[in-house]
Amino acid sequence: MSQGKLKPEELARINYQPPAKGWMDPDVEFRKGTWCYGAVPDTLKYLDLPLPKKWQPSDADWQLPPNWKQIIFEGMRERLQRFRTFKVFMDICVRCGACADKCHFYIGSGDPKNMPVLRAELLRSVYRREFTKAGKIMGKMVGARDLDEKVLKEWFYYFYQCTECRRCSVYCPYGIDTAEITMMGRELLNLLGLSIEWVNTPLANCFRTGNHLGIQPHGFKDSLDFAADELSDLTGVPIKVPINEKGHEILFVTPSADYFASPHYFTLLGYLALFHEIGLDYTFSSFASEGGNFGLFHSHEMIKRLNAKIYAEARRLGVKWILGGECGHMWRVLHQYMDTMNGPADFLQMPKSPLTGTVFNNAASTKMVHISEFTADLIRHGKLKLDPSRNDHWKATFHDSCNPARCMGLFEEPRYIMRRVMNHYYEMPEDTIREQTFCCGSGSGLGTDENMENRLRGGLPRANAVKHVRDSKGANILICMCAIDKATLPPLLEYWVPGMEVGGVHELVGNALVMKGEKERDTDLRGQPLVKPAKEVQDAA
């Protein structure tokens, strides 16, 4: 770990005692390791976003336009008229403090402004001053303060130290959702051209090429063909991957990391094996080759601009319904925003499993089904031949990714699958899973390198729960259903829980899936040797 100069035991010395001085006079130090690089001007220009500039958050001069305060106030006014969430959440917090120690960044850093209540107060204090009578008259006594450059810098610092995981909103007696506050804060900062590189570059790439890495269509095809070949070698079954083909029943959309990054790639092999085995009539699309939506980390408008591709492509290809792969924030957008923004999907048909006949009534309007819902249904109906012992080299625990957990409630489907494709499955402590799950610490565009210290801090609660299962049950792999998790958990675990691997649910499915005409399998999808079944070992002896 190049950035992690501190040893784990040093990083874990956390001071939770708030400073003697109050929080209202901002004093942000952009310390290396805690913040993300500023967005590159070309990416803003490509997306027609305002005020592109060469800039870093650590600069003293943020090159703000002379009327910047007016721009912010106008932006706040507009959003207060558009989002009831924003208005109500600005008004009703009683500062009971229940949210304080629910945030992984607060737990990992002890920085009081990482308490969700204070993160919101950073914005609320300006709201009160500008938009409420009490704040105008009473000022600091009611928690109101003027907007100035220091406050703006503080916004940037702390709104890019929130992963929009919504854990705090589970505990808030009024359901105040800090993700919503952070989204508003980031939208306001965007108005001044203040965004981060690891949000804006992927945005521009997604917009142009369909995926966040900027891979062009032929590269996309090469990748999938390579995966199909490799899977054929592993299984002895010839496999083809349809791309951009019209007239299939299903469009399959998955995060682009699945075909370019590791360990995501093994989950992709799992999908391909499954689809081949059940003879699914589907196609990939190179145009809608990114299910993940970095717009969620930028603005509502950008969510819509990127998400539009999915329905547009489903329409162009003439599919009946859409199946979605393992991803976190992708599923927040698909579940809570897509239909509203780019629907109605009345040109599609009610999703129905071609194998089991199950009608997915829960996706009656959006027409998009989560792969774990689809696979759980297959297994339930006995449509898959599974050999769980092929996962015997894994002792797994499961990380509920924030968005499928707290935006959907997708808890039992992946667990049902895992319990049937493997023999060794253990839960982490209950305060750290399901709706109480802890973020990987790198979501919402924070999964980059320059802020590694903060990622390690934010990921401490997650990693610590993993460590508990490793130490008590001997778990050796953390399974998750999110592309950001799969990218960011490996360095996190390497730091806090060395020796833990990270994998996906459908990687395990692919391992256990007994395919027609397959050769004798002696490795898993990673090419690692399988544990010989106990029976064979006995026979040999």
Partner 1 sequence: MTFGFSLFVVALLIAIPALGAAAGGHAFWGVVIPYAALAIFLAGFTARILGWARVPVPFRIPTAGGQQKSLDWIKSSRLDNPHSAWGTIGRMALEILCFRSLFRNTRVELREGPKLAYGSSKWLWAAALAFHYAFLVVFLRHFKYFVEPTPAWVTAIQGLDGFFQVGLPVLYVTDALLLGAVAFLLGRRLLDARVRYISHAADYFPLLLIAAIAVTGVLMRYFFKVDLLGVKQLAVGLLSLQPVVPEGVGAMFFVHLFLVSSLIVYLPFSKLMHLGGVFLSPTRNLPNDNRMRRHVNPWNYPVKVHTYEEYEEEFHEVMKAAGLPLDKEKSCPKAS
Stretch binding partner 1 (CB under 8 A), from 33-41, 113-121, 270-278, 513-521: 113-121
Closer Cβ to partner 1, 234 or 241, answer by number:
241
Which x/- pattern over 480-519 shows residues binding partner 1 (rule: CB under 8 A)? ----------------------------------------
Q: Report the candidate in 533, 511, 509 with the shortest Cα–Cα distance to residue 521.
A: 511
Of 3, 232, 336, 476, the residue at the interface with partner 1 (CB under 8 A) is 336
By CB under 8 A, residue 335 contacts partner 1: yes
Q: Which two tokens stand for residue 300?
A: 């509502």
85 binds partner 1 (CB under 8 A): yes
Round to whole Å and give the CA distance between 490 and 463: 10
The residues with which 324 forms a beta bridge, in sequence order, are 253, 370
Residue 417, CA distances (Å) to 123, 506, 508 in order: 43, 9, 9
Residue from 339, 392, 427, 501 in contact with partner 1 (CB under 8 A): 339
Q: Check residue 530 for interaction with partner 1 (CB under 8 A).
A: no
Which residues, at least 6 apart from 366, have a Cβ–Cβ distance to it below 8 Å?
334, 335, 338, 339, 343, 345
Q: Which of residues 122-161 bind partner 1 (CB under 8 A)?
A: 132-134, 138, 140-143
Residues in contact with partner 1, counted by CB under 8 A, come to a total of 121
Out of 1, 65, 96, 136, the only residue in the binding site for partner 1 (CB under 8 A) is 96
Residue 264 and residue 257 in contact, taking contact as beta carbons nearer than 8 Å: yes
For residue 504, what are the CA distances in angstroms to 267, 356, 398, 532?
Answer: 5, 24, 9, 22
| DSSP letter assigned to residue 529 | B
Sheet holding 321-324, edge to edge: 282-283, 250-253, 321-324, 368-370
Using CB under 8 A, which of 246, 357, 382, 539 touches partner 1?
A: 246
Q: CA-CA distance, 169 to 166, in Å (whole number)?
A: 5
Among 213, 407, 440, 493, binds partner 1 (CB under 8 A): 407
Distance (Å, whole) CA 191 – CA 325: 33
Is the Cβ of residue 224 or residue 479 nearer to partner 1 in the bound state? 224
Residue selected from 1, 364, 514, 537 as contacting partner 1 according to rule CB under 8 A: 364
Binding of residue 73 to partner 1 (CB under 8 A) = no
The minimum distance between CB 496 and partner 1, in angstroms, equals 9
Q: Could you tell me which residues are beta bridge partners of residue 38?
A: 196
Does residue number 286 form part of the binding site for partner 1 (CB under 8 A)?
A: yes
| N-to-C CA span, the chain | 45
Q: Considering only the stretches 262-270, 424-432, 483-491, 503-511, report the one whose residues sit in contact with partner 1 under the rule CB under 8 A.
A: 424-432
Report yes or no: 158 and 121 within 8 Å, Cβ to Cβ.
no
Q: Which of 2, 7, 9, 520 is close enough to bind partner 1 by CB under 8 A? A: 9
**Residues in region 444-483 near partner 1 by CB under 8 A:** 460-461, 464-465, 468
Check residue 87 for interaction with partner 1 (CB under 8 A).
yes
* Contact between 378 and partner 1 per CB under 8 A: no
Q: How many CA atoms lie within 13 A of 235 on its CB side?
A: 26
One-letter amino acid at 297 equals F
Give the residue with the Cβ less far from partner 1, 64 or 88.
88
- Nearest-angstrom CA–CA distance, 329 and 312: 20
Nearer to partner 1, 91 or 197 (CB): 91
Pair of tokens at residue 463: 């990693």
Question: Considering only residues 405, 421, 481, 509, which one is a binding residue for partner 1 as defined by CB under 8 A?
Answer: 405
337 binds partner 1 (CB under 8 A): yes
Beta bridge partners of 504: 480
Interface with partner 1, residue 368, by CB under 8 A: yes
357 binds partner 1 (CB under 8 A): no
Residues 6 or more apart whose CB falls under 8 angstroms from that of 72 comprise: 126, 147, 152, 188, 191, 192
* Under 8 Å between Cβ of 443 and 329: yes
Q: How far is the CB of 438 from partner 1 (least distance, A)?
A: 9
Residue 312 touching partner 1 (CB under 8 A) = yes
Shortest separation between residue 121's beta carbon and partner 1, angstroms: 7
Distance CA 1, CA 126 (A): 39
CA 423-429-434 angle, 5° bins: 85
Q: Which of residues 161-180 bind partner 1 (CB under 8 A)?
A: 166, 169-177, 180
Task: Give the x/- contact pattern for partner 1 in 22-61, rule: CB under 8 A.
Answer: xx------------------------x-------------
Q: 152 vs 241, which CB is nearer to partner 1?
A: 241
Token pair belonging to 529: 């040797």
Cβ 216 to partner 1, closest distance in Å? 6
The residue from 217, 318, 354, 490 that contacts partner 1 (CB under 8 A) is 217
Query: Is residue 223 involved in binding partner 1 (CB under 8 A)?
Result: no
123 forms beta bridges with none
